[in-house]
Structure 1
Amino acid sequence: MELKRRHLLLGASALTLASLSSHAWATKADDNLSFLVLGDWGDEAVEADQTAVADAMAKVAEQQAVTFIISTGDNFYEAGVSNIKDPKWTSTFEAIYKAPALQLPWYAVLGNHDHKGNVDAELEYGSVDPRWNMPSTYYTMSKSVGSKTADFFFLDTEVLIQNGMITEWFGWAKADQLKWLEQKLAASTADWKIVAGHHPLFSGGAHGDNKELIRILKPLFVRYGVNAYLCGHDHDLEALSDNGVSYFVSGGGSKGRPVKHHAKSLFSRSEPGFLLMELSANGSNATFYGRDAKPLYSEKLAS
């Protein structure tokens, strides 16, 4: 019953988004839409690096009029959270991202470390801190960019990477999520389609390419004109390109790990940091920043 309840929460996403209009941070449609992308951040063992990245995020958020933040998973190490009162919520989220410029909606997905804990607690934490948005294990939202629109699709890739000998539940959940994603992508008429998940399809980092995600997601991205895929998992910063789709690994929320050059790579860096994305009718850009708030790399987003 618990698993079914999680999927019933999908319908709650529209209500959650609608409720944002009552908060101070709700914004009117504008000609530009700026947001930050951060992954693999909730690690008390490297608090100094996490705090430095958070301070840099606050500077960029204020300068660039950022309106929300996407978390690409592994929100809490090493094994997620136990409940909505787990002290990690305070020590690695609220006490770190406390700057006024970061009091924005956070749209989060689950990572493999989150799945080791109480997933329902991450789904329910928005009742404690309204910044936190995870209405279900996978969900959508839409944003206006002047007269244009951007659709966002948030995935639970820990379920999608399962292959070979998988349990009956994982097999069902994987097929259900893929069917949902294709239906949502096919129905979208947005000017930008952006997908976020935890695991990369392509990466020069420690985990490398994920053959299963390439097999099941790449054809959907190409067929339905996805502009960008945002992820973490590898603790580095990477920009890659394949078949007209931009792939960004933003897994430097708390520490960096070695990264090798990838055949599809445009940029890679082994250090803590985050990604700024700016959507505009006049051109869209993605820029990686380091923990000192200085830009490391920028590119125009595929359109």
Structure 2
Amino acid sequence: MLHTRRSLIQGALASLALGGVARAAGTAAVAAKELSFLVVGDWGDGQSPTTAAAVAKAMGTIGAQNAISFVISTGDNFYESGVESTSDKKWRTNFEEVYNAPSLQVPWYAVLGNHDYGGSISAQIDYSKKSRRWTMPDRYFAVSKEFGGASADFFFLDTQRMKGDTLLEIVSHLDAELQLRWLDRALGESQAPWKIVIGHHPVFSGGRHGDSELLGKRLKPILDRHGVAMYLCGHDHHLEALRSEQVAYFVSGSGSRSRPPHPHAKSLFASATPGFLLVKLTPAGGTASFYSQDAALLYSQPLIL
């Protein structure tokens, strides 16, 4: 879909006027005493079906063992260039038929990655109306969950529009400002003890793409100021846990492709193993654990409020 400069700017301003965001449906209270969910990124790769299938099978196993409530996708949902429509065959071959385990038939809250921008963004948003699982009400949105007398607020960003690449350069600065203003306001209003932010691009990473200068300057201070517990991302094709100030940073970007990471001063763990992240939250704390494509535990760390 082609956009004019005027339509893009008008759309962005309209989004701010409406509060800057859609709020995903299906955020009713959960009776469980803890909240468990999986995080996988850079997974929609029809050229690596064996690896993607192995990761999906392991996700199904770990998901069943931990009674997960949902899955978070950190972007690059469909290689090499997104999907063209809500009827694109990639929905079936790269998503529905791959992530078919019973435990994965839960909401999938997804953000957009750079490869997704090669196709139709509206198709990924509109597929939410066709699918029982796929949940992307807008380019950025918020979801709230309640469990065990506690709550968690999740804020999903479109970090690709903050990068200002190629055709997006004409609105990059405006859109980044709109999103950051919304996030700053929404985090300030949140009363949830658990505040979690999700984007495709890392703030910190030992991977090939490395740290993001823009996100480090503009996003990190917001995370620090509002006591965000963790930032979840993909983009770099590995698994990594990092920490800066009081925020835990997790890179989960090896859902179908993997590359060796480099040493990073803030890194606590890093691996090129294909896999995903399991997060378990309770009113008092939690854990974040990386698992491999064989459902083997690679690393686990406590999460402290």
Give the TM-score range, shorter chain: over 0.9
Matched, 1:17 2:17: no
User: Given the superposition, is the C-alpha separation of residues 4 and 147 from structure 1 closer, same or farther in structure 2, using an over 3 Å criterion?
Assistant: farther
* Post-superposition offset of 1:130: 2.0
| Match among 142, 148, 151 for residue 150 of structure 2 | 148
Percent identity reads 48
> For residue 82 of structure 1, what is the aligned residue in structure 2?
84
Q: How many residues align?
A: 295
> For residue 278 of structure 2, what is the aligned residue in structure 1?
276
Deviations 1:143-193 (A, max 9, x none): 012111100000000112339x97332222111111111111111111000
> For residue 261 of structure 1, what is the aligned residue in structure 2?
263
Q: Secondary structure at the residue paired with 1:271? A: coil
- The 2-side partners of 1:203 and 1:11 are apart by 28
Letter in 2 for 1:177: Q
* Post-superposition offset of 1:302: 3.7
Deviations 1:241-286 (A, max 9, x none): 0001000000010021011111000000001100000001242100
User: Given the superposition, is the C-alpha separation of residues 278 and 54 from structure 1 closer, same or farther in structure 2, using an over 3 Å criterion?
Assistant: same
Does structure 2 conserve the Cα–Cα contact (< 8 Å) formed by 1:72 and 1:196? yes
> For residue 117 of structure 2, what is the aligned residue in structure 1?
115
Letter in 1 for 2:68: V
> For residue 104 of structure 1, what is the aligned residue in structure 2?
106
Does structure 1 conserve the Cα–Cα contact (< 8 Å) formed by 2:276 and 2:290? yes
- The 2-side partners of 1:155 and 1:257 are apart by 24
Q: Secondary structure at the residue paired with 1:17? A: coil
Q: Secondary structure at the residue paired with 1:277? A: strand
* Post-superposition offset of 1:12: 8.0
> For residue 219 of structure 1, what is the aligned residue in structure 2?
221
> For residue 174 of structure 2, what is the aligned residue in structure 1?
172
| Match among 106, 125, 139 for residue 137 of structure 1 | 139
* Post-superposition offset of 1:41: 0.2
Does structure 1 conserve the Cα–Cα contact (< 8 Å) formed by 2:75 and 2:110? yes
Deviations 1:173-228 (A, max 9, x none): 11111111111111111100000000001111111111111000110011000000
Does structure 2 conserve the Cα–Cα contact (< 8 Å) formed by 1:288 and 1:296? yes
Root-mean-square deviation (CA), in Å? 2.0
> For residue 97 of structure 2, what is the aligned residue in structure 1?
95
Decide which moves more: 72-81 or 170-179.
Answer: 170-179
- The 1-side partners of 2:52 and 2:265 are apart by 30
* Post-superposition offset of 1:2: 6.7
> For residue 24 of structure 1, what is the aligned residue in structure 2?
none
- The 1-side partners of 2:254 and 2:168 are apart by 30
Letter in 2 for 1:84: T
Does structure 2 conserve the Cα–Cα contact (< 8 Å) formed by 1:255 and 1:271? no
TM-score of the superposed pair, with normalisation by structure 1: 0.92
> For residue 252 of structure 1, what is the aligned residue in structure 2?
254
